[in-house]
Amino acid sequence: MNFSQIIMVLAIMSIWIATGLGLMILFSATHFWLTSIKKERQKVFRLATYPKVTVVVPAHNEDVVIAQTVEAILNLNYPKEQLELLLYADNCEDDTYDQIKSVVSLPQYQHIDATVIQRTGTGGKAGVLNDALKIATGEWICVYDADAMPEKNALHFLVEKSRKICGCFW
């Protein structure tokens, strides 16, 4: 066997190994997905008290996804009177600000404390977070990226787990 034949055999073997790994990943992912559908959803137990949480969403040119993200956050399973939303359109050159405003102005969200801020400062996401810390009124701060789609009970579970970890009993 000469050198070029050895290279050819190695190349064919590597293609088959890569194909095998790809199939293994595909079947494993499919198995995980099918078994996770059957699992019972985690039950939500009422907390003794709910701390006020300020949710900050920094968005820079995210008009494609921001409306869905804001809706998901507005629909979180958390007492609305204990929720403050600071929604930042940070130096946007697209319709991010208008998209946020249109969702927040829907009648079903009028009772939620949501502030939409069109920011022109410097510093990017860090600048947004520093600005938000100056005006936040919540006991806790939660930050979601503009392309996040939090599950309905995500904030409830975050607060519940945080309370257990830090030993807080509010």
Residue 23 confidence (pLDDT) above 80: yes
As a whole number, mean pLDDT of residues 142-155 equals 91
Q: What is the pLDDT of residue 43?
A: 73
Q: What is the pLDDT of residue 48?
A: 84
- The predicted-structure confidence for 47-67, as pLDDT tens digits, reads as follows 888 999 999 999 999 999 999
Higher local confidence (pLDDT), 163 or 65: 65
The CATH homologous superfamily of the domain defined by 53-166 = Spore Coat Polysaccharide Biosynthesis Protein SpsA; Chain A (3.90.550.10)
Sheet holding 53-59, edge to edge: 113-119, 83-90, 53-59, 140-143
Q: What residue ranges do the domains of the chain occupy?
A: 1-39, 53-166
- The predicted-structure confidence for 59-92, as pLDDT tens digits, reads as follows 999 999 999 999 999 999 999 999 999 999 999 9
For 126: left if phi > 0, alpha if psi spans -120 to 50, otherwise beta; the answer is: alpha
pTM over 0.75: no
Q: What is the pLDDT of residue 47?
A: 84
Q: Cα separation of 79 and 52, whole Å? A: 9
Average pLDDT, the chain: 90
Residue 164 confidence (pLDDT) above 90: no
- The predicted-structure confidence for 109-134, as pLDDT tens digits, reads as follows 999 999 999 999 888 899 999 999 99
Q: Cα separation of 164 and 166, whole Å? A: 6
What one-letter code names the amino acid at 138? G
168 — pLDDT class (breaks 50, 70, 90): low
